[in-house]
Structure 1
């Protein structure tokens, strides 16, 4: 029986081949090459694309393998499993905000530094760290965050050898030119329209995947679509697509407190739909897959999302 293909959307970000490999790591640290090639085909990837990716991953020491081709078994190195989802604490904080459990205290955290040109590499690394932590530049060498990230910035500054060049301070009445209203400041400092658009893409995909999963489950009788079967591969492809879209949406998000965001904020809706989709995919896998260890991805997000 032909099962319905998962919904696609040209606006959705492509799934990186490397991410697919990491997404299929099972609880025992292995990846079944046959399953990998099958799911890659569902996602529109060629066998050659997968082979080249595997060659690079093995050369980098992230995987070893035994066997050849589709019969190979890949073994992940202990540090090879961290690229599928954003950092755990970051995701949990996002859901805490969505539940109203992390209100803003009204304080802006500011970081100023003047690192000499001789330490340019360290200066650039510090700047990149601030940006990754969700801070925004106000002017040269001055960054602001609405979240208390100082405990994360300081160890990085010490590691880079520039701790003495960084000044930390707070403000409850930040003003930029004529802007002093906190939501207006947030809109000026962070690319909220772009971030919102990414979350709208995520929400759109999650809705379509939920519909596609319902059709897939109704078309495939229980216990006949094992991990190597067509329906099992479709389900895995849906899961990987959702992971890619979730990461694409979350990566640039500074997780501003809801008090600073336009309401309703698309991120809240998108994360709720993504959580519903994760749960439905994991439950469908448990109900329909007869044997074989599932990828860690099926349960990873369930562990992150508060219920």
Structure 2
């Protein structure tokens, strides 16, 4: 394999959350060991997650059961929605409607922590700064922005608007605006790496060598880790804004094919426990691609 994949312990815990919101500690320790993590790393990570309120803990050692809190499981929803939206964009099913979505806020210095958190959320949702306190997205992000502002207690300081006539200086062409506002080269570089990793894993998965259950689970977690690294900073710009071919679409196709191969190799026994929402969406995308 050409690229080493660093999997954070926290991400591994999230990867093993089952549909009922639980994580089996024995499975967690087993997969962690396969990934080269020590039991101490896992114990410290569990302790931090429980202290943060992300999980509750029942039992001891390998017989323990972790329960994801409501906030944790709710956070998986938008991530899955964004992944499905990305695959639909790749398939040409989400054409841009020509509308820019803007969010403006004026949060006082006395609420700096909430102001910074709102700004970080806007960037995480794919927003780009037009000027101080004003962010723009090419996608309809209003429900997510309002939820974040409400949760942070600054909803009254938030203004939302949309327009089909956006100009920055003397630039109004959408493609040029997208090039100026978002770091497309950096985003592309992350997808190039994801594509290399997915290609190497796909060759193993479709090759003649038998792979153990632990190896299959490890591959799934590695793919999830790299997919997250590539997609978290991706604003999911409409395809017509991006260079062709776009490495994001190519990398996601390879990931989808990997997940389909994982499921086929595993016969559906272990893979549903690895980011089940990711797996379902990726396998659907692979099936659509084969059908096309």
Q: Once the 2 structures are TM-superposed, how far is the Cα of residue 286 of structure 1 from its aligned partner?
A: 1.2
Q: Once the 2 structures are TM-superposed, how far is the Cα of residue 32 of structure 1 from its aligned partner?
A: 4.5
Q: Are the equivalent residues in 1 in contact too, given 2:10–2:45 (CA < 8 A)?
A: yes
**5+ long unaligned stretches in structure 1:** 1-6, 221-229
Bigger shift: residues 73-82 or 202-211: 73-82
Counterpart among 254, 279, 282 of residue 302 in structure 1: 279
Distance 1:29 1:156, change over 3 A: closer
Instruction: Show CA shifts across 1:127-180 (max 9, x none).
Output: 223222211101112211111223432344455454444333333332222322
Give the structure with the larger helix fraction: 2
1:66 is the counterpart of 2:28: no
Q: Distance in 1 between matches of 2:190 and 2:143?
A: 29
Q: Which has the larger radius of gyration?
A: 1
Structure-to-structure mapping, 1:136-151, within 5 angstroms:
136-151=128-143
Bigger shift: residues 181-190 or 51-60: 51-60
Distance 1:194 1:8, change over 3 A: same
Distance 1:42 1:152, change over 3 A: closer
1:185 is the counterpart of 2:162: no
Instruction: Show CA shifts across 1:38-89 (max 9, x none).
Output: 3223322223322322343455561424354xx5343434545567786221
Q: Are the equivalent residues in 1 in contact too, given 2:17–2:275 (CA < 8 A)?
A: no
Counterpart among 60, 78, 88 of residue 80 in structure 2: 88
SS of the equivalent of 1:170 reads strand
Structure-to-structure mapping, 1:221-260, within 5 angstroms:
231-260=212-241
CA RMSD of aligned residues (A): 2.8
Structure-to-structure mapping, 1:36-185, within 5 angstroms:
36-60=28-52, 62-68=55-61, 71-79=62-70, 87-185=79-177
Q: Distance in 2 between matches of 1:163 and 1:63?
A: 30
Q: Distance in 2 between matches of 1:28 and 1:171?
A: 42
Q: Once the 2 structures are TM-superposed, how far is the Cα of residue 36 of structure 1 from its aligned partner?
A: 3.1
Q: Once the 2 structures are TM-superposed, how far is the Cα of residue 99 of structure 1 from its aligned partner?
A: 1.1
Counterpart among 175, 187, 209 of residue 219 in structure 1: 209
**5+ long unaligned stretches in structure 2:** none
Q: Distance in 2 between matches of 1:232 and 1:82?
A: 29
Bigger shift: residues 122-131 or 186-195: 122-131
2:191 is matched with: 199
Q: Distance in 2 between matches of 1:32 and 1:299?
A: 15
SS of the equivalent of 2:267 reads helix
1:17 is matched with: 9
Q: Are the equivalent residues in 1 in contact too, given 2:114–2:152 (CA < 8 A)?
A: yes
TM-score by length of 2: 0.83
Q: Once the 2 structures are TM-superposed, how far is the Cα of residue 297 of structure 1 from its aligned partner?
A: 1.6
TM-score by length of 1: 0.80
Q: Once the 2 structures are TM-superposed, how far is the Cα of residue 8 of structure 1 from its aligned partner?
A: 5.3
Counterpart among 250, 256, 261 of residue 280 in structure 1: 261
Distance 1:136 1:280, change over 3 A: same
1:269 is the counterpart of 2:223: no
Q: Are the equivalent residues in 2 in contact too, given 1:34–1:72 (CA < 8 A)?
A: yes
